[in-house]
């Protein structure tokens, strides 16, 4: 069974061969109309046997543009404008306006050549974007597996070693809440990628999803969760939705409890709230700055 890479290569080769065959047919049709249009350069390029080198059919297409005249030229121009609109070519508005005032074939041919160059550049940009999106998705996937493994290690590892998961949770609750802040930061980047990757340029993908940028975002999320932990533990903010520290020196009290005779156990409501708020601190880049600004305003009042 062929691999995905082999399938993609075969598909690209087939598309390249099909495009070359169509250009050859178009060239032969033009020669049948006027044999004086023969172009040695086009004929040399049509003999190219290197598949998937898209610079070859692109050059042939541009070389053919001065050979097209009359109604065929108008049809080719209309087709190129539609393709440019489909690919969202940046200069499409100006090129479309120029099309309306052209009457001579030479002017239309020049415009067609310009449109074709812009379309080829846009195709190349889209290919680069696909490659960079695939790389960014791979980085996010690997990072997600690493974070999931680290979280399981914090939750399960020490408990297996000591045999007392409740004591371990009480001992490592600060590390756990910080880990959920990191997880919140990761999820924010993952959702941003999923919802906006198709609209991101190569520069956006490289600048927003490089390893150092992702790790920096996770660090910010973890530190934000750590600060929020101490803000809540210090009772600087409160409310029904926030966990309440219990007793002097008791921290957040019991973090795990049994819920019934069937042996089910889980986090206490206070600990669950703490986890959610630390996760939110990592997820939202504005949560901690806004909270600190509110505390600063209260301190000055």
Q: Work out the number of other CB atoms within 10 angstroms of the CB of residue 112.
A: 26
pLDDT value at position 230?
Answer: 86
pLDDT at position 282 is 93
57-113, pLDDT tens digit by residue?
A: 899 999 999 888 888 888 888 898 888 888 888 877 887 788 777 778 888 888 889
What's the CA gap between 112 and 118, in Å, rounded? Answer: 10
| 171 contact partners, CB below 8 Å, separation of at least 6 | 158
pLDDT band for position 249 (cuts 50, 70, 90)? very low
Residue 9, number of CB atoms within 10 A of its CB:
14
Give 206-222 pLDDT, tens digit per residue: 888 999 999 999 999 99
The reported pLDDT for the residue numbered 160 is 46
Mean pLDDT computed over every residue of the chain = 81
Per-domain residue ranges of the chain: 4-127, 129-300
**The whole model's pTM is what?**
0.70
Least confident segment among 170-179, 251-260, 265-274: 251-260
Which phi and psi (to 5°) does residue 9 adopt?
Answer: -65, -40
pLDDT at 264: 66
How far apart are the C-alpha atoms of 271 and 177, rounded to whole Å?
A: 9
**Measured between alpha carbons, how far is residue 129 from residues 55, 58, 121, 205, 273 in Å?**
18, 19, 12, 8, 40
């Amino acid at each position: 069974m062929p691999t995905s890479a082999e399938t993609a290569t075969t598909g690209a080769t087939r598309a390249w061969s099909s495009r070359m065959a169509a250009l050859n047919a178009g060239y032969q049709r033009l020669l049948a109309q006027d044999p004086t249009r023969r172009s040695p350069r086009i004929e040399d390029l049509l003999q190219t046997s290197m598949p998937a080198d898209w610079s070859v059919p692109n050059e042939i297409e541009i070389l053919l543009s001065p050979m097209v005249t009359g109604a065929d030229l108008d049809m080719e121009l209309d087709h190129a404008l539609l393709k440019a609109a489909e690919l969202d070519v940046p200069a499409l508005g100006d090129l479309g306006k120029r099309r309306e005032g052209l009457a001579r074939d030479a002017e239309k041919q020049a415009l067609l050549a310009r449109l074709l160059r812009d379309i080829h550049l846009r195709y190349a940009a889209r290919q680069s974007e696909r490659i960079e999106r695939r790389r960014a998705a791979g980085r996010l996937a690997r990072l997600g597996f690493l974070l999931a493994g680290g979280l399981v290690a914090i939750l399960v590892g020490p408990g297996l070693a000591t045999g007392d998961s409740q004591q371990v949770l009480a001992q490592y609750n600060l590390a756990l809440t910080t880990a959920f802040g990191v997880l919140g930061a990761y999820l924010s980047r993952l959702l941003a990628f999923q919802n906006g990757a198709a609209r991101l340029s190569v520069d956006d993908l490289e600048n927003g999803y490089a390893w150092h940028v992702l790790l920096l975002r996770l660090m910010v999320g973890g530190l934000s969760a750590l600060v929020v932990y101490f803000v809540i533990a210090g009772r600087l903010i409160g409310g029904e939705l926030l966990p309440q520290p219990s007793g002097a020196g008791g921290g957040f009290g019991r973090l795990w409890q049994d819920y019934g005779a069937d042996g089910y156990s889980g986090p206490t409501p206070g600990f669950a709230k703490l986890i959610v708020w630390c996760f939110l601190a990592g997820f939202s880049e504005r949560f901690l700055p806004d909270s600190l600004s509110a505390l600063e305003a209260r301190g000055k009042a």
